[in-house]
Structures are given as structure tokens and as C-alpha cells.
Amino acid sequence: MDIERIHTPVMLERTVELLAPAIRQEGAALVDATLGMGGHSRAFLERFPELTVIGLDRDTDALGIARERLAAFGDRARFVHTVYDGIAEAIRSEGFDEVQGVLFDLGVSSLQLDRAERGFAYAKDAPLDMRMDSTRGRTAADVIAESSEQELRRIFQEYGEEKLAQRYARAIVRARAEEPITRSGQLVAILTDATPVAVQRQGHPAKRVFQALRIEVNEELSVLQRAMPAALDSIALGGRIVVLAYQSLEDRIVKRVLQAASTSSAPPGLPMELPEHKPQFRLLVRGAELASESEQAENPRAKPVRMRAAERVRRPS
């Protein structure tokens, strides 16, 4: 497998630019909360010789590859097998009380998409797995087999924002009554048959359903809702966080948490803002920043990215 070919870190230079002021100091630590194959982490370790990177990932395959790619950095590269809502425990386990930087590169990784046997890609027939941590938890096939029609509809609507959720849920329940749905190719065929021709012209019928199943299997949104506050609590004064999100549901969570952290908590009508009400963070970019047109052209996986960033400006007393 050619790692350099399949794995191009998204918005790498901009991410480095935003985190650099916080992590260039001696003894600084950065948490790469979604380590993947270590593309971002390698760049940080190369450019900041005093930096320690704590890489988190639930995917044991990704951790194995990252260990090999970052072996030359010795003890400056640390590895923790955990879901990223375990960020606080991971930081403590590596001997740190706080960190100067946190990076989240959310969504499915290049490794997961490009290994057909993982079942993430609707364009490749494979077992319906979709677990980011293949050592535990329910698979997508389990969700398809065990969920009621009403529950499947909810998953497709809530996590995929799929307008045909009811139609697809009904078609799946009807099909699984005849034989188990265990492969991505089976599911794609069922969804395609249930999709009006006019709708098929607007995009692949399986795209939103596969996204919804992946989010359900990996509990991605609930994990992110826990991880963002934990990450902010772990950041030292002057430290920074950068988050890359690839779909609107994730980006809304990130936006809400960062906006709350960067807004005064003073009740309306106070004649002056007391110090304890001042924001703990300040936003570093206006809204959500997109990848440049040139990067989107060179790396298609950069097209949907929305980047947000913030810096800690106050610690609670």
C-alpha cells in the first residue's frame, strides 16, 4: 500500500500556521485526536523539534501504520488506542496536565475508505462492517439486521439528512426478510432499486445512508459532543485547537461549542462584565474556513472540509 499516494493531509499548511504560535515553545505537547496514518503529526514533529505529539486513534490498523511512519521521532511521538472522547485520560496517561495544541481531523480516514474490506465505501462490495475500531462494537450489518423500520428511518434522517429515509427503511426491512443483508453491494442494490430515476441523477443513492450507518456504528456525534468540551478543558493558557469537519452535523457541534467558549457568560443588563464572565477562548478564523480551490482540485477529499479554530485566552479562577 502506497501511504503517500492515498493519504494527503487536508489543509496541512493552514493547520500548521494556526497551531504554530502555541506549540513552538520548549516542552510543548500537541494532541492529534484523530491520528490516522500520522500525516499531520509527522509534519508537526518535523517542523517543531521540541514538540511531543500524543496521537489518539480507535483504529488499530491506523495506529500500527502511524507507529511505523513516526518511529524515527522516538519518544516525541506517543500513541494511545482510544476514542477521542478519552482525550483527558490519554493526556494524563502520557504524563501531562495540559497541552498547548489539539487537532481534530474528523470523519472517515483514507485508510478506512481505501481498504475495501472495511465496508465504508459504497462503491466497493465488501462486508458491511464500518467499525473504526474493528475489535469491538456492532457492525453496520448488525444495525441493518436488528433495527426496526422506524429506527432505520430515524438513523437515515438524523445522521444522513436523507429525504427518502422512509422509503429506504421500508425497502431494507422487506429485503432482509428474504435474506440477510451482509455486504455493501447488497445494500447499494436495494437502495438503488428503491430510488426514483430522477433522484438517481442527483447523486449516488447510497451516499447519505452509508454516512448515517457509519455515524450510528461509531457513535460519532455523541463522541464528538463529549470530546469537544474535554479537549477545551485540556488546553493551556495560550494554547490552540483546530478542528476539520467534513459534514454539517459534525460542524454544527464544533461551531456551537467554540461559540459558547468564546462568548461572555455575563447575564444581560449587567453594567460591566466581571472577570469570571469573560470568554475563555477567542475564535481564530471567521466562521468556517474552506480549503483553497487549488487544494480541492489536487485532493478531492478536501472539498467538503470546514475548519474552525480557537485560542485559550483565560483560565477559570
| Residue stretches of the annotated binding site | 38-40, 57, 84, 105, 112
DSSP tag of 217:
H
Distance CA 71, CA 178 (A): 50
Q: Which residues are annotated as a binding site for S-adenosyl-L-methionine?
A: 38-40, 57, 84, 105, 112
Distance CA 190, CA 141 (A): 14
Distance CA 129, CA 182 (A): 9
CB 164 within 8 A of CB 170: no
Q: Is 239 helix (H, G, I), strand (E, B) or coil?
A: strand
Angstrom distances, CA of residue 45 to CA of 104, 240, 309: 16, 17, 20
Cell numbers 493531509 correspond to what residue? 9
